[in-house]
Amino acid sequence: MPDSAVVDLGLQGKVALVTGASKGIGLGIAQALAAEGARVTLVSRKREGLEEAAKTIDGDTLVHPANAGEPDQAEDAVRATIEHFGSLDVLVNNAAANPYMGRAIEIDLPRYDKTHQVNLRGPLVWTQAAWNQWMKEHGGNVINIASIGGLTFGGAIGIYDNTKAALMHLTGHLAVELAPSVRVNAIAPGLVKTDFARALWEPAEEAVAKGTPLKRLGVPEDIAKAAVFLAGDASSWMTGQTLVVDGGAVLI
């Protein structure tokens, strides 16, 4: 292929909805999809953060405040997206919560329930809304943001990791159920330098980075590139898969 060749990912004019899109990985994904020509709905809890995020995107955007763990708010956000843009082609379930760090055996049930409400029930609820309101008749693409924590054991965020393992399993189930018109895949990031994960990387960033084969932590753009691949035509024969993007961390 000539160096000057341009790969058409098939995202021009498509409509994407990204949850947890005001910063971090979600914003990186929204920016990357817009850069490929997609029109994007940004969803997060606070309008102010969403409006600031939208200013960083060169493209057609809609901001819609919503709590990812509340089914009625998911329904409203999907409806608003379809009314504004006329379709919903790509759903990115990125929003997550981690209200507890510590031994899994010692977690209190309210924080356990909150983690599952946002991280596991949430993606199902948003996918149901997208399916029922648009994708059942028109097809589409769902991308779930999981974590390499769902592939390992131990550490201080075991309940969070448990929800991400379940999310990868749910991804496969939905891929079978919604095929062939809807593809469902997941991304399992390693440790990415975001505010959300700050407690995991900031105290010993250099040491943690040296412990991975590629000797650096991730940045939102690393995950965004994988999301663009899964959202576009380049991955048209992929469904039910989890892409691990972690600098090789799970290898050692």
- Catalogue the active-site residues: 160
What number of other Cβ atoms are within 10 A of residue 25's Cβ? 28
Decide: residue 240, CB within 10 A, 0-12 exposed, 13-18 middle, 19+ buried.
Answer: middle
